[in-house]
Chain A
Amino acid sequence: AQSVTQLGSHVSVSEGALVLLRCNYSSSVPPYLFWYVQYPNQGLQLLLKYTTGATLVKGINGFEAEFKKSETSFHLTKPSAHMSDAAEYFCAVRYTGNQFYFGTGTSLTVIP
């Protein structure tokens, strides 16, 4: 079965520090890869996605992620955390067809 693993259900960083949220997927077939953000009591918003081409993908709000096929990873980073980045982050993969598989989410806390 396909799966997505997000290491760390809760991550805390200081304001201005590096944000690193980890995502690994289980498949030898390169999928489409997505990161979504969810603010309290809201739906999911797309941060960035990888489909083909350049493996370093830049998204909104200063986030970026790198697809590493050899490591089956798609970790999300941001050089300097802002208070407004506090939210739940979900990694998702999509293989052939239209079904998405989501990770269990990582809650990011930003400490002033």
Chain B
Amino acid sequence: NAGVTQTPKFQVLKTGQSMTLQCAQDMNHEYMSWYRQDPGMGLRLIHYSVGAGITDQGEVPNGYNVSRSTTEDFPLRLLSAAPSQTSVYFCATIQGAGETQYFGPGTRLLVL
């Protein structure tokens, strides 16, 4: 049982490049989410999904796209990377109401 996995661990991009951050879980949790963590700002919700085929925007969705074709996977896409997207990205899952949120190990992204 791997829990929540994220790839890559670290990525350097040039401005304007695109990439996909991968997130996978093997706990069969319906709810998945993406956060970005920036110094002094805590974690901010980017997008979330309450189940396969259903996604919605969080607090800071601009510049990011998501899709959820399976329960297990929830990729985050940067279509045209900007330096402001330099951050640490965390994927998380929740099993149900009131339940704990489980976090992946994070992806560090540097946009030059």
Binding site for B on A (CB under 8 A): 4, 9, 32, 34, 36, 41-46, 49, 51-52, 90, 92, 94, 98-100, 102-105
**For residue A104, which residue of chain B has the nearest CB?**
B42
Count of inter-chain pairs, beta carbons less than 8 A: 54
CA distance A78 to B41 in the complex (A): 25
- Of the four ranges (under 10, 10 to 19, 20 to 34, 35 or more), the interface on chain B belongs to 20 to 34
Interface of A is mostly: strand
Q: What is the CB-to-nearest-CB distance from A57 to chain B, in angstroms, rounded to a whole number?
A: 13
CA distance A52 to B4 in the complex (A): 27
Given pairs A98-B33, A100-B45, 4 additional interface contacts (CB within 8 A): A49-B100, A90-B42, A102-B43, A104-B40
Contact residues, B62-106 vs A (CB, 8 A):
90, 92, 94, 97-98, 100-101, 103-106
CA distance A52 to B50 in the complex (A): 23
CA distance A34 to B20 in the complex (A): 30
Q: What is the CB-to-nearest-CB distance from A23 to chain B, in angstroms, rounded to a whole number?
A: 12
Q: 27 interchain pairs (CB within 8 A)?
A: A4-B42, A34-B100, A34-B101, A36-B103, A41-B106, A42-B105, A42-B106, A43-B90, A43-B106, A44-B43, A44-B90, A44-B92, A44-B101, A45-B103, A52-B98, A90-B42, A90-B43, A92-B101, A94-B98, A98-B50, A98-B97, A99-B48, A99-B58, A100-B33, A100-B43, A102-B42, A105-B42
- Judge whether B104 and A43 touch: CB under 8 Å: yes
- Judge whether A99 and B105 touch: CB under 8 Å: no
List of A residues within 8 angstroms of B33 by Cβ: 98, 100
